[in-house]
Homo-oligomer: A and B are copies of this chain.
Amino acid sequence: MCGIFGVSAPRMSSVLEDLYLGLYALQHRGQESAGIAWLDGKGNLELQKGMGLVHACLNQEELAKERTKCAIGHVRYSTAGESNIINAQPLHATYSKGQIAVAHNGNITNARALKRDLESRGAIFQSTTDTEVILHLMAHEQSLSPIDALVKSLSKLRGAFSIIAIIEGRLVAARDPWGFRPLVIGKRDDVYYVASESCALDIVNADFVRDVAPGEIVIIEEGKLESLNMPVKAERHFRCSFEYVYLARPDSVIDDKSVYDVRFKLGQRLACTCPCSEGELVLGMPDSGTIGALGYASKSKLPFEMAVVKNRYVGRTFIQPTQRVRSLGVQIKLNPIKGLIKGKSIVVVDDSIVRGTTSKMAVKFLRDAGAMRVHLRIASPPVKFPCLYGIDTPTSSDLAAAKMDVEALRDYVGADSLCFLDVSDLVCSVGLPEEELCTACFSGLYLKE
């Protein structure tokens, strides 16, 4: 789970601030580090990187003064232990054909094998990112032009990758043949933008042009867009269904499907398949359950209330996890409105259950607020399998639904009832054919290696 954003202008322009804003719009996809790379007036690559939120990593005022024709940026989400500035992207390298910068969203499933092979040919790896594998693969295609080397290198990868790069002064964007992670193209006057999600186009006032197609490589230069196809053809597509369920911002449109719309439909479908006859009130767990709850309420004709308020200022960087804070738990961030809840049978909609701990705390604090009954409705199927394609879900042993059946899970979280959607409901709500969608974390149907 990362966010990428790129820009290509036909002449030296003040577009680095757009990059800054675009990364802000993608901040929900990664808060660990941020970085950008751009071409200066002499064609050299410049770099800014740091640990933390966008505003802490990048200097907006300096960027506002710079001009460039081509720039890319990245926000990174990472698992514990690998958190370090050396993994902050974009990666930047010089090789026999010149300078290159690459940023990447996804997870390459054959990265380990490729690394081992590259290492046996003398490669050294300075980060633990998959991105670096791509750079090495390109560098080992000495006889090919950089773009051809990229095409050939990407063809060797299995798994999920949406990438943007600066190669030979051009903005290059590519999406894996299976279409795991989203990638969209936008345009404002004669400036092209590429982004993980369309919400990043909106913030810079760019028009949405289209999605990058699975297996497509897009090359933008001097206001012109050229499209290539990777030679590898995917047997089917694996567009990530979890983007619609949880990851993406609701104001984004991915592969022609509005995230908001999908979430609303998931909620509606949940109302059909998991009704709650005694429910008096529907509420969503902020923020990700809210739209599903709206859908549930609209279908069930139950009243929808924003009965849990989120403290907008309490981010993970601002409150230290001291003993006292841990003892207070989720109420540091969420506060139920007792007047709405007291003595009522509540239907609580959440987007998904991963570890189950948040749900458990939420049920408890609703009961503490006076709820007579708490009926938990999950607007997606049980997450039973780890994601291999770039989302930081835990291994099976930490996935609540992998360890327990629904009844045991209901008991664990303490709800009066618990109900999930099934995979076909999810597919249906997204509106893409089943063979277009990755549901591996729910179904275990992974891409065959």
A positions within 8 Å CB-CB of B: 14, 17-18, 21, 24-25, 27-28, 47, 49, 53-55, 60-61, 64, 84-86, 91-96, 116, 119-126, 128, 135-136, 138-140, 142, 199, 202-205, 249-251, 253, 258, 260-261, 264, 287, 290-291, 294, 298, 303-307, 309, 311-314, 317-320, 322-325, 328, 331-332, 335-337, 339-340
Contact = CB atoms under 8 A, between A and B. Distances in A.
Given A319-B24, A339-B258, A93 B125 contact: yes
Q: Is the interface of A mostly helix, strand, loop or mixed?
A: mixed
A380 to B, nearest CB: 19
Contact of A140 (B53, B60, B122, B332): B122
A314 B264 CA distance: 25
A384 to B, nearest CB: 30
A309 B250 contact: yes
A95 B121 contact: no
Contacts of A96: 116, 119-120, 122
Given A64-B320, A64-B324, 7 more contacts: A55-B319, A86-B92, A95-B119, A122-B136, A250-B337, A261-B340, A291-B306
A337 B258 contact: yes
Contacts of A125: 93-95
13 contacts: A24-B319, A27-B313, A47-B85, A53-B313, A96-B120, A120-B142, A123-B123, A124-B138, A199-B335, A203-B335, A250-B337, A258-B337, A258-B339
Contacts of A121: 122
Contact of A205 (B119, B322, B328): B328
Given A91-B126, A320-B61, A21 B339 contact: no
Q: Identify the interface centre among A260, A264, A325: most chain B CB within 10 Å of its CB.
A: A260
Nearest to A308: B251
Contacts of A322: 17, 60-61, 64
A332 B47 contact: no
A61 to B, nearest CB: 6
Contacts of A328: 21, 203-205
A325 B25 contact: no
A251 B334 CA distance: 10
A309 B138 CA distance: 40
B251 A309 contact: yes
Contacts of A319: 21, 24, 55, 60
Contacts of A124: 93-95, 123, 135-136, 138-139
A325 B337 CA distance: 36
Q: Identify the interface centre among A27, A95, A298: most chain B CB within 10 Å of its CB.
A: A95
Contacts of A294: 304-306
A232 to B, nearest CB: 22
